[in-house]
Every structure is written in structure tokens, then in C-alpha cells.
């Protein structure tokens, strides 16, 4: 009979490692968190005290580790970084090193909460952070607040070649009652750079090229120029003749185009209603609303077509009616509506029907009746 002592010794040697793994698994909020600049990491290499310590990710996205020097950390998950460190350490230094990486301090990814919240300000994303978690931390679910919140999310990818498009944002209205019902589709994950605007009841949103975007109180007979003045006025990049008002009527949204250019703006006396969203665009922009995955304001690239614009907005949702897509365009003769059958373009290959966009075009993708 073989002596069982070596087996007992082997088991005993692995117990501390198993305990350490359990501790880190319990403390890590998510293995899929993407490490970013200024995060603080705890890296443990089993049996190597000189390597096992805390490391701050530099502004260049790297850490400095003994033996192997500068290592890229930003953009990786904890598991990916651990696997990369293991591979580098076992090349010349260690035999089968056991590496564990965990984020100790989340400093890189943040969201901003504005408006009628008990604690407005910046909040760090710790692992997979949901909308409801941040709203609860910010005290934004009180009875005095509006039952709608606005999410403004920066867009990083354009339709062509994955190039970054500066100055683009998607805008989404959120029903507070729905997210409190614990529906995963409504209580979605937040992303770095998100802004949540929490208005009081009887408020309007104002976004885009004004000096102080956010929510503003709505008084009796409040005009659009009064709200723009409360928001500090236009920035130097604003396009005053392409102002949009997104107005919800029941379950539908109406897009209104206004001209506020000139010494005496044509639509200066336009009256706002409760929960209107006023969008002041930057020059050379277009808008897309309705049943696309990322509605909002986008920078207009040269020769961008309606098909490329819808692709940039994430494509259609499952509720979309592509055959009834329309473009609302301001011309010298007034507002023009151009109907576009996107099914003909996509399914039948009629790319010649994918018309180019012009500045301040509004694309509306309606919901299907079926």
C-alpha cells in the first residue's frame, strides 16, 4: 500500500491558495469589469511577496511590475490581465505562476447625476453597475422628483470604419416606475461617461450646445428663448436654426423643428410643455429618433446616407417599422417630409434609394403596428 502522506501534504499546500481564491472571488463585484486609468489593482502572485502588492494604473493605462516592467492594464478584464501576467512571468522567471488580479479602488469609470437628486455629482462604476443602483445612491427616487429621467450617452463609433465621432450623444427617456419593477430590460447597465438628468415635476430638459445643460423649472407660458437664457445661452458652436423639441404625447414622441436664428427669431415665442426635451445642435449635425437602438444627435459626415446613419444609431429595434421611415428636412420653402422604405434598401439591395443627409435632418423610425 502506498504511503498517503504526500497526498495529504499536497492537499495542505493548496488550502491557502483555495482560501485566497475564495476571498478574491467574493470581493470582486464582476469579472467582466474593464480596468481603466487610475484604478488601483491588487495583484497576488502565489509565493512571491515582492510581486504581490497594490498597483495604480497610470494615465497611460499601464502598471510597473517588478521583473517584467511596464504592462498594459487598461482595457482588460481582471482575468485577461492575470492571464497576461502569468504568461510573461513564466517565460523567464517562474514555473507555472498562480496570478490573481482584483480591482481594489474603482477610479476610472464614472457617471454624472444632475438635477433634482439628493446627492448629485460623479459616481464611480464598480463592476456591473445598474441604473437603479446609481439613482438610489444619488437619492434620485424621492417623491418630489419627476417620474421620468433623461439619460445622455456619448457615442464613440461612427458608421464607417469604426472611427470615433466627436460631439455625438444618444438621448433616452427613462420611466422611473418601470425600473423600480425590477425588469432587467429597464434597469440596464450604465457606461462610462453617462449623464443622468433628474428633473423636478413641471420641468423641461435642455441639452446640447448651451452653456449649462440640464433640467429647468417650467413656469406658466415659458417660451423656448426663456429656457435657453436660463441655460446660459448658446455656445459658439450652436446652430440656432436647427433647434429641436422632443415632445411626448401619451406613448408617442413628436419632433418639432424650430428656427431661433437672426435678431428676431421666427419661433422665439414657442411655448414649452412639461417634460419637453430641447436639443440645441452643433453645426453639421443630424438627429435620429424612434425605434433605433441609440437615438440622439450625431455629427454629419460628408456624404452620409440614411442607411449609414441608422447603422451608426445601432440599427432598428425589434419594434421598428423600417418601411415607414421618414426624414424631416427644413428647406427655404418650409418643412418637407421625405418617406423612405428602408426594407427596399436593405432587403432588395436598392442602395440608390439611400439618400444622402443634409445638416439638421431629422430621421424618424416609427413603431410597427403589429
369 vs 163 pLDDT, higher one:
369
- pLDDT for 350: 86
The answer on pLDDT for 337 being more than 70 is yes
- What mean pLDDT is predicted for residues 279-289? 86
Query: How large is the average pLDDT for residues 119-148?
Result: 81
Which of 50-59, 209-218, 251-260 has the lowest average pLDDT? 251-260
Phi, then psi, of 160 in degrees rounded to 5: -110, 125
Question: What are the residue ranges of CATH 3.30.1950.10 in the chain?
Answer: 5-105
The winner for highest mean pLDDT among 160-164, 202-206, 228-232, 293-297 is: 228-232
Between 58-72, 164-178, 244-258, the lowest mean confidence (pLDDT) is in: 164-178
Write down the mean pLDDT value for the chain: 82
In whole angstroms, what is the distance from residue 56 CA to residue 319 CA? 45
Where is pLDDT greater, at 169 or 53?
Answer: 53
pLDDT of the residue at 7: 40
The model carries a pTM of: 0.60
Confidence at residue 223, expressed as pLDDT on a 0 to 100 scale: 95
The mean per-residue pLDDT over the stretch 282-311 comes to: 86
> Cell numbers 497594490 correspond to what residue?
54
Q: Give ranges for CATH 3.10.560.10 in the chain.
A: 284-370
Query: b or e along 51-75 (b: 16 or more beta carbons within 10 Å of the residue's beta carbon)?
Result: beeebebeeebbbebeeeeebebbe
Give the cell for residue 368: 410597427
Q: pLDDT category, 349, cuts 50, 70, 90?
A: confident
Q: Which CATH superfamily is domain 284-370 in?
A: Outer membrane lipoprotein wza domain like (3.10.560.10)
Residue 74 reports pLDDT greater than 70: yes
Topology (CATH level 3) of domain 5-105: wza like fold (3.30.1950)
Cα 362 to Cα 301: distance, rounded to the nearest angstrom: 15
Q: Of the spans 175-184, 221-230, 345-354, which averages the highest pLDDT?
A: 221-230
- pLDDT of 198 over the 90 cut: no
Q: What is the pLDDT averaged over residues 263-292?
A: 89
pLDDT at 325 (0 to 100): 95
C-beta of residue 35 within 8 angstroms of C-beta of residue 41: yes
Question: How confident is residue 156, by pLDDT bands cut at 50, 70 and 90?
Answer: low
Reported as type and span, the H/E element at residue 312 is: helix 306-312
Query: For position 184, what pLDDT does the model report?
Result: 66
Q: What is the pLDDT of residue 144?
A: 55
Q: Which residue has the higher pLDDT, 198 or 21?
A: 198
Grid cell digits, residue 85: 501576467
CB within 8 A of 99, min separation 6: which ones? Answer: 43, 44, 45, 46, 82, 83, 85, 86, 89
Residues 158-165 have a mean pLDDT of: 40
Please report which confidence band the pLDDT of residue 310 belongs to, taking 50, 70 and 90 as the band edges: very high
Rounded CA-CA distance 100/105 in Å is: 16
Between 333 and 311, where is the model more confident?
311
For the chain, give the percent of residues with pLDDT over 90: 34
146-150, 160-164, 273-277: least confidently modelled range: 160-164
pLDDT band at 32 (very low <50, low <70, confident <90, very high): low
Residue 145 has pLDDT above 90, yes or no: no
Amino acid 13: pLDDT: 39
Amino acid at each position: 500500500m502506498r504511503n498517503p502522506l504526500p497526498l495529504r501534504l499536497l492537499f495542505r499546500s493548496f488550502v491557502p491558495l483555495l482560501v485566497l481564491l475564495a476571498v478574491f472571488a467574493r470581493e470582486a463585484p464582476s469579472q467582466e469589469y474593464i480596468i481603466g486609468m487610475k484604478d488601483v489593482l491588487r495583484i497576488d502572485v502565489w509565493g512571491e511577496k515582492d510581486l504581490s502588492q497594490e498597483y495604480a494604473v497610470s494615465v497611460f493605462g499601464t502598471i510597473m511590475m517588478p521583473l517584467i516592467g511596464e504592462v498594459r492594464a487598461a482595457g482588460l478584464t481582471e482575468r485577461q490581465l492575470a492571464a497576461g501576467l502569468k504568461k510573461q512571468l513564466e517565460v523567464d522567471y517562474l514555473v507555472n505562476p498562480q496570478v490573481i488580479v482584483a480591482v481594489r479602488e474603482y477610479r476610472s469609470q464614472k457617471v454624472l447625476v444632475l438635477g433634482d437628486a439628493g446627492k448629485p455629482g460623479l459616481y464611480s462604476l464598480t463592476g456591473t453597475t445598474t441604473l437603479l443602483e446609481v439613482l438610489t445612491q444619488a437619492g434620485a427616487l424621492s417623491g418630489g422628483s419627476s417620474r421620468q429621467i433623461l439619460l445622455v450617452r456619448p457615442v464613440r463609433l461612427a458608421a464607417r470604419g469604426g472611427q470615433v465621432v466627436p460631439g455625438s450623444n444618444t438621448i433616452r427617456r427613462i420611466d422611473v416606475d418601470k425600473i423600480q419593477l425590477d425588469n432587467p430590460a429597464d434597469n440596464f447597465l450604465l457606461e462610462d461617461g453617462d449623464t443622468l438628468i433628474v428633473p423636478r415635476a413641471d420641468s423641461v430638459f435642455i441639452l446640447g450646445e448651451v452653456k449649462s445643460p440640464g433640467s429647468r423649472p417650467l413656469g406658466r407660458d415659458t417660451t423656448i428663448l426663456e429656457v435657453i437664457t436660463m441655460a446660459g445661452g448658446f455656445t459658439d458652436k450652436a446652430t440656432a436654426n436647427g433647434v429641436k423639441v422632443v415632445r411626448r404625447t401619451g406613448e408617442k414622441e413628436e419632433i418639432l423643428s424650430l428656427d431661433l436664428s437672426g435678431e428676431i427669431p421666427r419661433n422665439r415665442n414657442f411655448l414649452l410643455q412639461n417634460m419637453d426635451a430641447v436639443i440645441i445642435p452643433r453645426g453639421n449635425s443630424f438627429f435620429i429618433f424612434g425605434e433605433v437602438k441609440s437615438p440622439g444627435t450625431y455629427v454629419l459626415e460628408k456624404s452620409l446616407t440614411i442607411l449609414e446613419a441608422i447603422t451608426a444609431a445601432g440599427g432598428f429595434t425589434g419594434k421598428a417599422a423600417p418601411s415607414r421611415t421618414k426624414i424631416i428636412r427644413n428647406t427655404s420653402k418650409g418643412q418637407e417630409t421625405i418617406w423612405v422604405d428602408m426594407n427596399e434598401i436593405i432587403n432588395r439591395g436598392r442602395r440608390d434609394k439611400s439618400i444622402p443627409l443634409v445638416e439638421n435632418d431629422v430621421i424618424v423610425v416609427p413603431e410597427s403596428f403589429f
